[in-house]
Amino acid sequence: MPRTKVKGPTGLPLSGNLLQFRKNPLGFLQRAASEYGDIAHIRFGPNRHLYLISDPDMIKEVLVTKQNHFQKAKGLQVAKAVVGNGILTSEDKTHLRQRRLVQPAFHKQRINAYADTMVEYATRQIDHWEDGAERSLTNDMMELTLAIITKTMFGIDIREGVGDISHAIDVGLRYVSKRASSFIDIPASVPTRSNREFQESARVLDETIYNIIAQRRAGNEPDRGDLLSMLLAARDEDDGTGMSDEQVRDEVMTIFLAGHETTANSLAWTFYLLSQNHDVEQKLWQELETVLVGRKPQMEDLPNLPYLNQIIQESMRLYPAAWAVSREVVEDVEIGGQTFEKGETLMMSQYVMHRSPKYYDQPDRFMPERFEGDLLKRIPQFAYFPFGGGPRVCIGNNFALMELGLVIATIAQRFKLRLAEGHHPVEMEPLVTLRPKNGLRMRVYKK
């Protein structure tokens, strides 16, 4: 019996919808969902078929109930060139084993110990801010979250070479993003400019991380309280084996990239939203003053700062760091009554779902109050999923939420931020993560 034909945006004969997608990925996906409903057919090149899934129950089928029918799609397979075969990109038994080994490093009690570090480093970052000065907020937040993940991951400060590391990460993410949406795969061995730049960035990151691993193993040190100590000490409960240097490198690289790039973008977007919504900003300041009474925030304060939490939830709704996830069908599967065949790709967009008028009143408006009460209980589970879902939900979600809360509280206590005069239009740049295009230049004013 022939399967039902799924409609979608009309594309060009050879490239399909690729040029439309590359020109404006987020707008293209929103229009596709709006015009074609829960399932929209998208074509990248002559033979690469994708289906945008925009129904929460269908998304749950893909990510949870029928997840064994899928593997990571092209984008994250390309990402192996950067992060190796860590928990982000590995499959099946390898993924289960690695997640089991890494999980203790993100136990609540473990990550709670990092709260003081997060506040200390945020304080250090803003101590040299001058009243009225114009700053690149995106650069400041990248620098801050890189310092935090380096300290909590490795137990050390990386000051020298931080610019080289940040540049190498940026090159890697752009490389992955470009290759993920291409339909002509140029082998990495071909010495194109893009390949050469990527290989140099990979060399910088590998050299940094392998050196740290080697020093730690040579020192035969006990647990230093950082994430690397946990990874080096981890043992498989089945056979008692630990991780090789390469496995540790892959997990470290995954956490290193995901643990600062995504959080830095979320911080930048949140302060941008506060700068544009003074009533929300004033309400946040009032909550911080009432709860903290001028002292620095601590981990124990976060449950007592509900409006801050609503601001973070709303910021991640409008600007989810991970703006889409994709899965490739490995065996024919029925989702929402539609059969999908081996080799096809299903795409699910947090950005599209988070701005759906089906689930959110005035979906493009910044309204933290919408999260008061039990909004997340009233809407379907996958109408809001900034950290993904199912067995592959982001392992560092609690770490990220704690860091966001403590850093925002630390900065908002002392400064208000405003877009710099003559600032270029604020636009989104959806690479691997959703970042502000051309950065955010803001003036910082002491309160």
Q: What is the pLDDT of residues 334-372, one digit of tens each?
A: 999 999 999 999 999 999 999 999 999 999 999 999 999
Q: What is the pLDDT of residues 298-343, one digit of tens each?
A: 999 999 999 999 999 999 999 999 999 999 999 999 999 999 999 9
Predicted confidence at residue 430, as pLDDT, reads 93
The helix (run of H) or strand (run of E) holding residue 399 is helix 397-414
Integer Cα distance of 255 and 273 in angstroms = 27
Instruction: Say whether 419 sits in a helix, a strand or coil.
Output: strand
pTM greater than 0.85: yes
Give the pairing type, strands 48-53 and 345-348.
parallel
Whose CA is closest to 420, among 96, 217, 183, 138? 138
Give the residue, 254 or 30, on which the prediction is more confident. 30
Predicted confidence at residue 392, as pLDDT, reads 75
Going along 77-177, which residue ranges are E strands? 133-136
Q: pLDDT band at residue 202, thresholds of 50, 70 and 90?
A: confident
Q: What is the pLDDT of residues 404-446, one digit of tens each?
A: 999 999 999 999 999 999 877 899 999 888 999 999 999 999 9
Q: What is the pLDDT of residues 136-181, one digit of tens each?
A: 999 999 989 988 988 888 777 765 555 666 677 777 667 666 666 5
Mean pLDDT of 38-58: 94
Predicted confidence at residue 1, as pLDDT, reads 44
Whole-number percent of the chain with pLDDT over 90: 57
Q: Domain 18-446 belongs to what architecture?
A: Orthogonal Bundle (1.10)
Segment 366-370 long-range contacts (CB within 8 Å, at least 24 positions apart): 366/273, 366/276, 366/277, 366/280, 366/314, 366/315, 366/318, 367/314, 368/280, 368/307, 368/310, 368/311, 368/313, 368/314, 369/310, 370/310, 370/314
Chain mean pLDDT for the chain: 86
CA distances, 289 to each of 234, 279, 282, 292 (Å): 42, 16, 11, 5
Highest mean pLDDT among 12-16, 182-186, 231-235: 12-16
Q: pLDDT band at residue 196, thresholds of 50, 70 and 90?
A: confident
Give the residue, 268 or 3, on which the prediction is more confident. 268
Integer Cα distance of 432 and 177 in angstroms = 5
Give the pairing type, strands 39-44 and 48-53.
antiparallel
